[in-house]
Amino acid sequence: MTTKDGNRAGRRGPYAKSEARRRAILDAAHAVFASRGYRGGSLQDVADQAGMSQTSLLHYFPSKSDLLMAVLARRDEITETANPADMAEGLAEVVFRTAKYNEDIPGVIELYTVLCAESLTEGHPGREYFADRFARLRQSYARRFTELQSEGKLRPGVDPQQAATSLVGLWDGLQTQWLLAPDEVDVAGSLRGFFDLVTLP
């Protein structure tokens, strides 16, 4: 191996170790924030969970808010890469498939639900993230419902924008109920019922 290759190998080692420690911190923060919320979970709690000092943690994430945003980005990565969209699918099929997939990642759903509710509090660093996310979802679903309307598949009198807003609210509410009573709440089934009400067979 040449010196140049040796240098490359040397760079890969520390980089891989750094990435592993960063991932360990994110996993620890995910667990802490999901169980205690952003306000209730401290950086020391995260450091303890990750098995490192708070000083070491701050080397990777300079502030608690930086850590929160990284955790939310990781949450999006998990849901998007492990459950990729199929452009050939219709809106209803995408919703049902995603709802079923979410049943296999209760920790991610718990994190989302806890932080979403907590983001309503004054000064919460995740507020903009959730506001933007809801706005994107409403816009995306409204566009899909409008397409269904133009294809004659939306029931008469159903407004695409209202249907989109209702879908977002229903889905989040169902997931919260499911977290509390997973054996009693069928998220995908209830969403299917919603689509039966707003779309034509």
In this structure, whether the domain defined by 1-63 belongs to CATH 1.10.10.60 is answered with yes
User: How far is it, in rounded angstroms, from Cα 19 to Cα 134?
Assistant: 31
Fold classification of 83-201 is Tetracycline Repressor; domain 2 (1.10.357)
Question: Are 1-63 and 83-201 the same fold in CATH?
Answer: no
Residue 191 has pLDDT above 50, yes or no: yes
pLDDT, tens digit (0-9, with 9 covering 90-100), for 98-115:
999 999 999 999 999 999
User: What is the tally of helices (H) and strands (E) in the chain?
Assistant: 9, 0
Give 154's strand partners: 199
- pTM value is 0.83
Q: For 14-18, 94-98, 105-109, which range has the lowest pLDDT when averaged over its residues?
A: 14-18
> What residue segments make up the domains of the chain, in order of their start?
1-63, 83-201
Average pLDDT over residues 116-125: 95
pLDDT, tens digit (0-9, with 9 covering 90-100), for 30-58:
999 999 999 999 999 999 999 999 999 99
